[in-house]
């Protein structure tokens, strides 16, 4: 299972890697995280600090829309399955 880190932890890791002059390798080693994770966090934070690391309860607009569409698709698929079964039952009853 992948380790989950809080937004505060990620922001602090990014800050340390920049402001303390430690660099990626030293910061990653001290925090016991991978360098690749720290590179990703720095890129995400650098692109949009306010929206970085939204977490599960604070999805980006795109992610929220995808989640909503997946729920709608699942509901439509269940409705279609119910209609298929009902059609089969009525077809048998009318024979």
pLDDT, tens digit (0-9, with 9 covering 90-100), for 26-45:
989 999 999 999 999 889 88
In this structure, the chain runs to a length of 95
Residue 44's pLDDT is 86
Would you call 45 exposed, middle or buried from its count of C-beta atoms within 10 A (0-12, 13-18, 19+)? buried
Between CA 45 and CA 23 the distance in angstroms is 16
pLDDT of 77 > 90? The answer is yes
Question: What pTM was computed for the model?
Answer: 0.54
Locate tokens 């077809």: which residue? Answer: 91
pLDDT, tens digit (0-9, with 9 covering 90-100), for 6-29:
888 998 888 888 877 778 889 899
Cβ atoms of residues 55 and 8 within 8 Å? no
pLDDT of 59 > 60? The answer is no
């Amino acid at each position: 299972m992948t380790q989950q880190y809080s937004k505060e932890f990620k922001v602090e890791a990014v800050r340390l890697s920049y402001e303390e002059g430690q660099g990626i390798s030293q910061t990653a080693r001290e925090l016991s995280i991978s360098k690749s994770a720290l590179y990703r966090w720095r890129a995400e934070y650098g692109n949009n600090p306010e929206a970085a690391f939204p977490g599960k309860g604070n999805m980006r607009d795109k992610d929220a829309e995808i989640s909503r569409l997946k729920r709608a698709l699942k509901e439509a698929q269940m409705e279609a399955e119910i209609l298929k079964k009902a059609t089969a039952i009525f077809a048998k009853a009318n024979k």
